[in-house]
Structure 1
């Protein structure tokens, strides 16, 4: 059997910051082929700069809906740009930073809930078994305490969707303190090594829902 793999999300899904073929999507695909011992055909629908609101909207398009319906393996990387956008939008007034971040987190959670609901609905009508993998967030602003708390709260929320065929790949602790070795020159995106870490965490969740 040939497995279809649909990757949706932001610049982590596109592999920004790594050489072609070294983002987590192609690396994870190769790992999946090795474990499943069959061909895995990828459809990478990642968009640089995508937020949860943007992904929610894109999931209403025929292209996305069809790619999700046909996939036996799905990965979702989203949420990081919600934090980055909120952090960049704040002014210099004390207290504003925390308020803006909290509002962004609540919106992010609501959108993520809608995204997961849409994915579940799209897969409900298909008889083919599938696995859905959520890529957790690392902190792009490790020196900012409020950002650390934001990322931890989002990760806890997203991990709550774990089930028999839905898995959460936690990467926070792998990146914390290791940013110099795992991030690209922009200090925001992973480098090739960082993407291998993400792919490895996805692979370690196994493929039980497909067998």
Structure 2
């Protein structure tokens, strides 16, 4: 082979490797129009039954550090939402209007289909559930998730959809109690992964960041919600897939500013100026489980310097 042929063969090989590596991650969306959907994790519920900065807020914050962000909201996420609740929510006319311009969507849905069936006794460190009920709930979650993704594909055709996985939420129970419930979590994550990937969405695994003993991230034995370190781990799991090298560092964690559901309800009823908070110039609406279903935040363009 001549030197010229060797040169072009090498160039083609390099080009192939580069193009192959570039397809691993999704395209960076500029400007970002980010909408967080789902349950209390998407809303940012704390281990003390309050609402504060969660993984979606940290994602929006990190996006704003690197690229223009036109809009961000987690107003469509509510504590307690099941997959059926999320489906109904995104089918509303108000939600469709907001979602139509989205180009990044994260979704947390499925845990509330399962968690009510798990009986936890923090004092004894025990867990109990009926397998038949769990199997039925998991199948229903799968069916609803298929419908949610199909609806989002129609409503937000330009959006990259990221389906967030779940972590093991009972690190405080006895080790002997963890295996059975852990298997149900594995099944839920498998359903989320298979269903999302089959429909062209991306699954974000977070369970490895927590493990079975993440007391440092889930500090309250009587509550399944993570603290800010847990939400940081979830945000970084997303960012690793969105753009390798982007990361929410410890020094970048937002200052705590929790609000009770009652406080948030009062703010909404008063139409106060505290309706939204700002994190590095990104509008972040903090929802409450007591908000009326048709409430949506005022949309506004977020200036980017």
TM-score bracket, normalised by the shorter chain, equals 0.7 to 0.9
Q: Does 1:197 align with 2:233?
A: yes
> Higher helix fraction: Structure 1 or Structure 2?
1
8 Å contact kept, 2:178–2:212: no
Q: Once superposed, what is the RMSD of the aligned Cα atoms?
A: 2.6
Aligned residue in 1 for 2:43: 14
Q: Match for 1:62 among 69, 77, 93?
A: 93
**Structure 2, unaligned stretches of length 5 or more?**
1-29, 120-127, 172-176, 245-305
Partner of 2:59: 28
Q: CA deviation at 1:65?
A: 1.4
For 1:153 and 1:191, how far apart are their aligned partners in 2?
A: 24
- Equivalent residue, structure 2, for 1:148: 182
Work out whether residues 33 and 40 of structure 1, in 8 Å CA contact, stay in contact via their aligned partners in 2.
no
1:159-203 deviation digits (Å, cap 9, x = unpaired): 222389732110112112342011142440010000000000111
After superposition, what is the alpha-carbon deviation per residue over 1:87-115, rounded to whole angstroms, capped at 9, x for unaligned?
24xxxxxx971111111111111111111
Greater mean alpha carbon deviation, residues 197-206 or residues 169-178: 169-178
Bigger drift between 183-192 and 99-108 goes to 183-192
**For the structure 1 residues 17 and 190, does the alpha-carbon distance in structure 2 shift closer, same or farther, using more than 3 Å as the test?**
same
Alignment of 1:80-119 (within 5 A): 80-88=111-119, 97-119=130-152
> CA 1:96–1:81 in 2, change beyond 3 Å: closer, same or farther?
closer
Listed as ranges, the gaps of 5+ residues in structure 1 are 89-94
Out of 142, 166, 171, the residue aligned to residue 201 of structure 2 is 166
Q: Using structure 2 for the length normalisation, give the TM-score.
A: 0.59
Seen in structure 2, the aligned counterparts of structure 1 residues 96 and 27 have a Cα distance that, compared at 3 Å, is: closer
Aligned residues: 198
Larger radius of gyration: 2
